[in-house]
Amino acid sequence: MMILSLIKAHALLHQVSRKKTKDGFILATTDDYEVVRDLIHDFLGYALETTVPQRLREVVTAVVHI
């Protein structure tokens, strides 16, 4: 949910250049997603790696190299 909130916030900040629905809702674009992805990529990667057990990482690495 945090990522979706960040995408919504980015779209809101750039609402002048975003299309809106008939009801006035701002439509997020892939640009909004890409900016957020670039901002949180390193942090998210670090956070996920610290929560994945070492043994599981070893299994994934072994499968990738088959």
- pLDDT tens sequence across 21-40: 999 999 999 999 999 999 99
Distance, CA of 59 to CA of 11 (rounded, Å) = 39
pLDDT at position 52 over 90: no
**What are the residues whose beta carbons fall under 8 Å from the beta carbon of 33, sequence distance 6 or more?**
7
The domain in which residue 54 lies consists of 2-64
pLDDT at position 51 over 80: no
Q: How many independent structural domains does the chain possess?
A: 1
Mean pLDDT of 36-59: 83
Distance, CA of 66 to CA of 56 (rounded, Å) = 16
pTM for the whole structure: 0.64
pLDDT at position 5 over 80: yes
pLDDT at residue 16, rounded to an integer: 96
